[in-house]
A and B are shown apart, each in its own frame.
Chain A
Amino acid sequence: MTPVNTFESELAIIGTGLAGMAAAYFSQSLGIRTAQIGVSSSAIYASGYLDLLGVHPVERRQQWTDPFSGIEALVRDAPFHPYARLTRAEIQQALDGFLGFLSGMGLPYERREGVNSFVITPVGTLKPTYAVPESMWAGAVACEKKHPCLIVDFWGLKGFSAIQITQMLSPWPGLRPARIPFPAVGPSVDLYPEQMARSLEIEKNRVRLAEDIRPHLMDAQAVGLPAVLGIYKSAAVRAHLEGLLGVPVFEIPTIPPSLPGFRLKERFETEIARKGVRLFAQKRVLKVETENRKGFVLSVGDQATGEIQDMVRARGVILAGGRFLGMGLRAGRKAIIEPLFGLPVFQPGKRAEWHENDFFNPAGHQINQSGIETDEHFRPLDRSGHPAFENLYAAGSILAHQDWMRQKCGAGLAVATAYAAVRAFMGIKRL
């Protein structure tokens, strides 16, 4: 057995999804000695689009162009929604800060202040989102203006059909599909986005790609491609292609796990460590002990073997482990539990009420309202309704009374609650 070291920190963040990333960023930017532990399995499912609020009320499928008005309506109707604990100023500051962080690590975003964009999904639907990766922005613009556009797909890239996307987006005059072979691979062998992206970081492959696209260009004022335009040099890859083609080029997310999520994970891990956060990547917190109700000792290790490899001592903890996929919550046959702290979990009375008969019921499933209830400082409550610990906070989708998937509010919720939780830990006055 290897000796187990103890890392001393002020704040430990459990989870490496969007909420965990945001919490780590805000924490280190306030000069807090931070540790972060998590398996970034869910980050790689991210499409790149950052939602703030898209739909409310979900059962009426009402979509919002102005997300802040949408949030106002939401918190009026759902006073327990985590957004109800935040001011507009806090949400805006959180987003500005986080988008600045992403931009600083080479993943710039575009948005129109206070306005949702409608963006193209891998199956050709449009969804309302707030911040769009720069690499996808020309698509949002072209879609709004209905500019003549070419959508390109590749022999061998499954689950991404330019024909499907163009048919779904009809009527859109001048929107055309084209299928071409992927450069340097030949026709139709199984292609995966990561491998394609690496290949396009080589200049001659981009030249070849542009040559193959050019005959299809005609009157197109922009070209949409699956999100495979480089991993580490994505901005340069796209700029080069745009130069070769003479029109804006934009990415459309592929089905998960897709490149934007992978880029985010890769950049984040490097950048957050560089900024001084001690990141225990691909590790899980296996056990938590509390010290005199003042601090925490986390046993960190490998989930599969149960082997404890590190200890982390922290004065405060932010629980940002997500719901079930992130393993922040665990569902048994009879009840849902929070496995690390044994916190009470708000949930429907019995399993029969967890899910609707119609998977796509716009009203959503009851189970998605389940999660951790907190006080106004995002501190989880115990059974008596008081903060379970002085310095335990929760952020992101583990929070109760929200349905981020139907409301299209996942990123905003993650980033804004992480921001508020970090500031509460520092005792900073609310905005």
Chain B
Amino acid sequence: MQTRVLIIGGGATGTGVARDLALRGVECILVDKEDINAGASGANHGLLHSGARYVSRDPEAARECWDENQILKTVAPACIEATGGLFAAVQGDDEGFIADFPGYCEKTGIPCTPVDVQEAREMEPALSERLIAAYAVEDASIDPFKLVLENITEAQSLGCRFLRRMKVVGFEKEKSRIRRVDLENRETGERLAVEVDMVVNASGSWAGQIAALAGASIDLIYSKGTLVITHSRITHRVINRLRRPSDADILVPGGTVSIMGTTSIRMKSLEDIHPTVAEVDRIVEEGAVMIPGLETARYIRAYAGVRPLLGGGGGDDRSASRGFDLVDHAEAGIDNLVTITGGKLTTYRLMAEKTADLVCDRLGISEPCRTRTRPLASHHQTRWTVPGFSPREWFKGHDPEDLLLCECEMVPQSAVDQIIAGFDVFEKKVDLTGIGKRSRIGKGSCQGSFCSVRVAAYLYDRGVASARQGTVDIKTFLNERWKGQRCLLWDSPLIQAELQEAMHCGLFGLELL
């Protein structure tokens, strides 16, 4: 196989680069050792920053956030809910910081309006009675799954190929150029060699490992952040704690839920990243200072991601730059490898633009970037991730033979068919987890207990699952969901988990398989 540009990493940045290049007419292949959003792009707040959070210590990153906030609201409205945001301080928070905040915003050019405390509590009744200051900002919520699926779907429609579950295992170099990249299919172990002109390393937290494999180096620190999703939506707006960034100080609404986080824990390794009970308790208890209802809220899921932060060295990870870094490895002796890392979900488009500019410059292509103004089309295939889409479709009228495989979120067989059709033939495997990433399957109140079995049975009937693999895949799928459940199992989620265990272990005996 052969391509002009091979992009490594299916997160926001990698898919953003794929779309940007595809729009400039540049042939490219995107690979990921897992799937879309397997790293930080799938494990963040879903917050489109106004920039206000960074005004005090990183005005440049703050400014970039504000610019991109405005661009994305224009070009990707279907992925964004323009909720607006509040910065809120409660008794005991640093009054010096509170007093300085509007000045910082003004200096950086980021809109920020003081709100009377009483009025703020009327706008957001979930806020604590101990509120002492509030400012309105232009934060919004953004759906990172829809965003990334839109990017890759448009790139694919323009000829880009996306190979899931393909791991980069080697770079074949000729003098100072990478001539070939060796990939390995994670399911079958088969190798695939891709001859390339340029390689983009957009592998996020794994950027150091990929660079090292190519003989280059990137200095990253890993900061784990855990978040929790509430069963119902708690506020209308994004709520930021008005203080220096710390644990559990942002609550982001998204559709029918809210997401509270985060923590920040320095990690040595990227293996086995999962949320812990201690982190969840910390988020609940600290979050409840600003939003008392979090103490008794029902939670449906926790998840953890790793922020790839730039530059080693000492200091607090929270004060490390949220800016991004585009590294041209030509300086270190590899002419056709660039690494893009750091940054924020909010600035993913800008990061992709800068990367594609550099790639095109190297390839001698003079096509300009189009993503600043071109709307991100809302594609057919990406709609199954949107909460509430499936039920609306269903009630509008449906084919009675198109059975609902997921009854909680109302996902029909035809959705699974469409999703399967989008998988590249090179993967040779249809996995429940991949289907789950592209739909609401497993995300409803049964958390996958029932729909996993229905979808697995359907995949056997369709002939895309066979032997024992389709049933073993139920275990993989449920274990992936489990990572997010196990640290918030009390009250009704624990009851649901017991039912799941009674069924999948007690009756099916899948633990014996």
Measured CB to CB, the residues of A under 8 A from B are 45, 47, 49, 54-55, 58, 61, 63, 121-127, 156, 158-161, 163-164, 167-168, 170, 179, 187-190, 253, 255-256, 323-325, 327, 330-333, 350-352, 354-362, 365, 367-368, 404-406, 408, 410
Contacts and interface: CB of A to CB of B under 8 A. Distances in A.
A367 B499 CA distance: 14
A124 B453 CA distance: 11
11 contacts: A58-B511, A122-B507, A123-B456, A125-B508, A125-B510, A158-B403, A158-B457, A161-B460, A256-B503, A352-B276, A360-B511
Interface centre among B277, B474, B498, B503 (most CB of A within 10 A): B498
B482 interface: yes
A190 B510 contact: no
A410 B502 CA distance: 10
Given A122-B508, A362-B511, 4 more contacts: A123-B457, A159-B457, A188-B400, A325-B495
Given A55-B512, A357-B274, A161 B457 contact: yes
Given A159-B450, A161-B461, A359-B479, A325 B281 contact: no
Contact of A332 (B401, B458, B474, B491): B491
A255 B471 CA distance: 14
B503 A187 contact: no
B457 A360 contact: no
A358 B503 CA distance: 16
Contact of A406 (B458, B468, B511): B511
B269 to A, nearest CB: 15
Contacts of B491: 330-333
Interface in B457-508: 457-458, 460-461, 465-468, 470-471, 474-475, 478-479, 482-483, 486-487, 489-491, 494-495, 497-508
Contacts of A361: 511
Given A158-B454, A168-B471, A188-B403, A355 B507 contact: no
A21 to B, nearest CB: 17
B502 A405 contact: yes
A226 to B, nearest CB: 11
Contacts of A179: 461
Contacts of A125: 471, 508-510, 512-513
B250 interface: no
B490 A331 contact: yes
B457 A61 contact: no
B464 to A, nearest CB: 11
B148 interface: no
Contacts, number: 159
The A contact surface, by secondary structure, is: loop
A160 B457 contact: yes
Contacts of A47: 507
A161 to B, nearest CB: 4
B510 A123 contact: yes
B278 interface: yes
A331 B489 contact: yes
A61 B497 CA distance: 21
A122 B460 CA distance: 13
B404 interface: yes
Contact of B466 (A167, A332, A333): A167
Contacts of B461: 161, 163-164, 179
A351 B478 contact: no
B468 A168 contact: yes
Contacts of A58: 511
Nearest to B401: A188
| Closest 9 A/B residue pairs (Cβ) | A161-B457, A405-B506, A164-B460, A352-B277, A359-B482, A188-B401, A159-B454, A127-B509, A360-B511
A187 to B, nearest CB: 7
Nearest to A334: B490
Contacts of B512: 55, 61, 63, 125, 127, 362
A367 B495 CA distance: 12
A45 B500 CA distance: 11
Contacts of A253: 507
Nearest to A352: B277
A156 B500 CA distance: 23
A164 B274 contact: no
B47 interface: no
Contacts of B503: 45, 255-256
The B contact surface, by secondary structure, is: helix
Interface centre among A55, A122, A126, A255 (most CB of B within 10 A): A255
Contact of B505 (A188, A355, A367, A406): A406
Contacts of A330: 491
Q: How many residues of B sit at the interface, in one of the four size bands?
A: 35 or more
A351 B275 CA distance: 13
Contacts of A360: 475, 478-479, 504-505, 510-511
A167 B278 contact: no
Given A158-B458, A358-B479, A323 B498 contact: yes
Nearest to A179: B461
B277 A189 contact: no
A332 B495 CA distance: 11
Given A158-B458, A167-B467, A256 B475 contact: no
B284 interface: yes
Contacts of A323: 498
B438 to A, nearest CB: 20
Given A122-B453, A325-B499, A359 B281 contact: no
A389 B504 CA distance: 37
Contacts of B499: 45, 325
Contacts of B400: 188-190
B471 A189 contact: no
Nearest to B493: A331
B405 interface: yes
Nearest to B482: A359
Contact of B453 (A255, A404, A410): A255
Nearest to A253: B507
Contacts of B401: 187-189
Nearest to B510: A360
Contacts of B272: 357
B165 to A, nearest CB: 21
Contacts of A358: 479, 482
Contacts of B284: 333
A256 B501 CA distance: 12
Contact of A333 (B482, B490, B505): B490
B283 to A, nearest CB: 12
A145 B512 CA distance: 22
Given A167-B466, A323-B498, A354-B489, A190 B453 contact: no
Interface in B362-405: 400-401, 403-405
B489 A355 contact: yes
Interface string B179-217: 000000000000000000000000000000000000000
B497 to A, nearest CB: 8
Interface centre among B450, B471, B482 (most CB of A within 10 A): B471
B256 to A, nearest CB: 22
Contacts of A170: 467
B297 to A, nearest CB: 11
A253 B453 CA distance: 13
A395 B267 CA distance: 46
Contact of A351 (B454, B457, B490, B497): B490
B486 A324 contact: no
A320 B203 CA distance: 53
A255 B467 CA distance: 20
B277 A351 contact: yes
B230 to A, nearest CB: 14
B505 A190 contact: no
Given A189-B401, A354-B489, A405-B506, A123 B471 contact: yes
A365 B506 CA distance: 13
A324 B453 contact: no
Contacts of B276: 352
A325 B450 contact: no
Contacts of A188: 400-401, 403
Contacts of A63: 512
